Amino acid sequence: MIKFDEFEFVDGGVCAAAGFYANGINVGVKKGSTKKDLAIIYSDVKCNAAALYTQNKVKGAPIIVTQQNLKDGKAQAIIVNSGNANTCNENGIEIAEKMCELSAKEMDISKDDIIVASTGVIGQPLNIDAIEKGIPTLVKSLSASGSLNACQAIMTTDTREKQVAVEVNIQGRRCYIGGISKGSGMINPNMATMLAFLTTDVAINNEMLKKALKRVNDITYNMVSVDGDTSTNDMVCIMASGKANNDEIIKEDSDYETFVGGLYAVMMNLARETARDGEGATKLLECFVIGAPDDDTAKVIAKTVISSSLFKAAMFASDANWGRILCAIGYAQAEFDISRVSVELASDLGKIVVCAEGSGINFSEKAAKQVLSADEIKILIDLKDGEGKAVAWGCDLTYDYVKINAEYRT
């Protein structure tokens, strides 16, 4: 069990950890747009680094380049653009490598120590000229308070910035873990989320860093679904500078568990906000599954329910159509006894049991509608068949989701 409630949230995002700087500016990746569209995160020392990537067979060119650059487990900077995914482009690899070369030259570091990412429309040519002209300005204005600018520069259809940082105590030293992320559509991660960039000043070796990232990712970003589509550019990466000067974490001891807890606090909150900011969403949905035979069963059921389009549409209408929940539970790829299942719907406006022992029970539709009219809804599922548990996050499915995606390229 990951413990994460003893950490203090702090300001700073990816710059909360010692030695990290960031910035984001507008360079005109999309002509006519005035939004920030190019971001950089830089460490003043080379870091241990790890990343997870989309499982989509179609991968953006930046992922291929980043995978190559991270083979040695080292990185010192991240360069990322929004407005164009640089995916399915004939010269995509060349452009991604050029972004690394240009950034490296300005920062006087190796191009192989750069993580590169892109997000936006798939299959559209990306002209490197605007990025090339903007990188010198971007680098010159790197700042220890630049996390918000970087966060804004990676947004596409996002309606709110997503950045979090926490302070953790390791060996009596104050250490920090922070992150920014983007994503509100094409979200059904099979690794991470669209783009998430994490930084820490904790000294931790590559093996433990990779293990921690995967462990936490499996119960945070991998438990989010907005629309069931897995992006081509999904990436979550972390850089660890070691500047907290703790004894390096080299095994799964109490210091490692403290680090994992802090990482969970950051990634869980970023993942939760990703679900809340789903395209066109009006409600955050949290599905809690308890009493499962094991945690894996609970995870499968929670993610299946939160991914159901029929259920998500019912939540938009504040309709306690619990049969859609049972339907989703029933087609989840897991083994359990449906005759024991109970379902309760809850929010700050109350709670109501809609199913017990696998069957519907009488309840007030009026009271249920009141509960579901809140902007955060909890779906509580008890399988009554063990100690396994999990939580997944999603959002309602609205008319605006269709509108946003029907007009995405225009």
Domains of the chain: 8-276 (3.60.70.12), 284-406 (3.10.20.340)
Question: Does residue 117 register a pLDDT over 60?
Answer: yes
Query: Under a CB-based contact definition with an 8 Å cutoff, are residues 182 and 278 in contact?
Result: no
- Smallest CA-to-CA distance from 264 within 322, 326, 200 is with 200
106-142 burial, b at 16+ Cβ within 10 Å, e below that, comes to bbebebbbbbbbbbbebebebebebbeebbeebbeeb
In whole angstroms, give the CA distance from residue 157 to residue 26.
Answer: 16
- Confidence at 4, pLDDT banded by 50, 70, 90: low
- Confidence at 186, pLDDT banded by 50, 70, 90: very low
Lowest mean pLDDT of 186-195, 241-250, 306-315, name the range: 186-195
Q: Which amino acid is at 234?
A: D
- Confidence at 405, pLDDT banded by 50, 70, 90: low
CB atoms within 10 A of CB 333: 8
From 119, 156, 193, 304, the catalytic residue: 193
Query: Under a CB-based contact definition with an 8 Å cutoff, are residues 381 and 341 in contact?
Result: yes
| pLDDT at residue 355, as a whole number | 96
Q: Which amino acid is at 369?
A: K
Q: Which residue has the tokens 């539709």?
A: 365
Distance of CA 42 to the CA centre of its chain: 20
In whole angstroms, give the CA distance from residue 330 to residue 288.
Answer: 16
Question: Does residue 406 register a pLDDT over 80?
Answer: no
Residue pLDDT, tens place only, 14-71: 999 999 999 999 999 988 889 999 999 999 999 999 999 877 776 788 999 999 999 9
Residue pLDDT, tens place only, 191-225: 333 689 999 999 999 999 999 999 999 999 889 87
Q: 239 or 404: which carries more pLDDT confidence?
A: 239
Question: Does residue 325 register a pLDDT over 50?
Answer: yes
Query: Under a CB-based contact definition with an 8 Å cutoff, are residues 112 and 76 in contact?
Result: no
Q: 398 or 359: which carries more pLDDT confidence?
A: 359
Secondary structure (H, E, C), the chain: CCCCCCCEECCCHHHCCCCEEEEEECCCCCCCCCCCCEEEEEEEEEEEEEEEECCCCCCCHHHHHHHHHHHHCEEEEEEEEECECCCCCCCHHHHHHHHHHHHHHHHCCCHHHEEEEEECCCCCCCCCHHHHHHHHHHHHCCECCCHHHHHHHCCCCCCCCCEEEEEEEECCEEEEEEEEEECCCCCCCCCCCCEEEEEECCCECHHHHHHHHHHHHHCCHHHECCCCCCCCCCEEEEEECCCCCCCCECCCCHHHHHHHHHHHHHHHHHHHHHHHCCCCCCCEEEEEEEEECCHHHHHHHHHHHHHCHHHHHHHHCCCCCHHHHHHHHHHCCCCCCHHHCEEEEEECCEEEEEEECCEECCCCHHHHHHHHCCCEEEEEEECCCCCEEEEEEEECCCHHHHHHHHCCCC
Q: For this structure, is 282 an active site residue?
A: no
| pLDDT at residue 277, as a whole number | 77
Q: Which residue has the tokens 């974490």?
A: 249
In whole angstroms, give the CA distance from residue 331 to residue 308.
Answer: 10
What phi and psi, each to the nearest 5 degrees, are found at residue 87? Answer: -125, 140
Residue pLDDT, tens place only, 344-368: 999 999 999 999 999 999 999 999 9
